[in-house]
Amino acid sequence: MKITDAQLKQIYTHAKETYPYECCGFLLGTFDDGGLVREVRPATNLNQERTDRFEFDGKESLQVQSEADDAGLDIIGIYHSHPDWPPIPSQTDMDSAFVNMYFLIVSVHQSMPLNTNIWRLADEGMRRFEGVALEIVDQAELNRDPS
Ligand SMILES: [Zn+2]
């Protein structure tokens, strides 16, 4: 998956803001370009009871999906943070994952984002995640038309 430094910082800022709760959001882009993120969309985490859960707002998700459609983009992934926990998918993450979608998890320790991992379901039947390499790309990549 490819992302710019500025987009990654946007996610880190969001993760800091919501600490000690998880942040969550959408990664809009194109699968054809090797999973190029063209836009980061912070979302509302409806779950404010536990610090190890996130729950998207259905209405907000539909809105983002419709805006992505209009822009000729896909929701290629979602991101969320793990406050004081490694960036490894939980059982809950496993259960909520979709095939093909990138799953970005940022680990936050005492409100400081530490490291990021990208995951993708290896196959739906097994419900098993595999790590995906994260490539930091130049801003200029985003100026090319979606293929
Ligand atoms: Zn998680």
- In this predicted model, what pLDDT tens digit does every residue of 95-125 receive, in sequence order? 878 888 999 999 999 989 989 999 998 876 7
Does 145 map to a domain? no
Say if residue 37's pLDDT is above 60. Answer: yes
Does 92 map to a domain? yes
What DSSP character marks residue 98?
-
Q: Which domain holds residue 40?
A: 2-138
Does 144 map to a domain? no
Does 95 map to a domain? yes
Does 35 map to a domain? yes
Does 146 map to a domain? no
Does 11 map to a domain? yes
The contacts of residue 57 (CB under 8 Å, 6+ apart) are 43, 44, 46
Say how many Å lie between the CA of residue 86 and the centre of ligand 1: 9
Report pLDDT for 87: 95
Report pLDDT for 141: 87
- 39's enclosing H/E stretch is strand 36-43
CA distance 127 to 119: 12
pTM: 0.93
Report pLDDT for 147: 56
SS3 63: helix
Domain tally, the chain: 1
Does 119 map to a domain? yes
| CATH code, 74 | 3.40.140.10
Strands (E), 68-127: 74-83, 102-109, 112-123
CA distance 131 to 22: 21
SS3 49: coil
Name the catalytic one among 17, 22, 49, 60. 22
**Would residue 22 show up in a list of annotated catalytic residues for this protein?**
yes
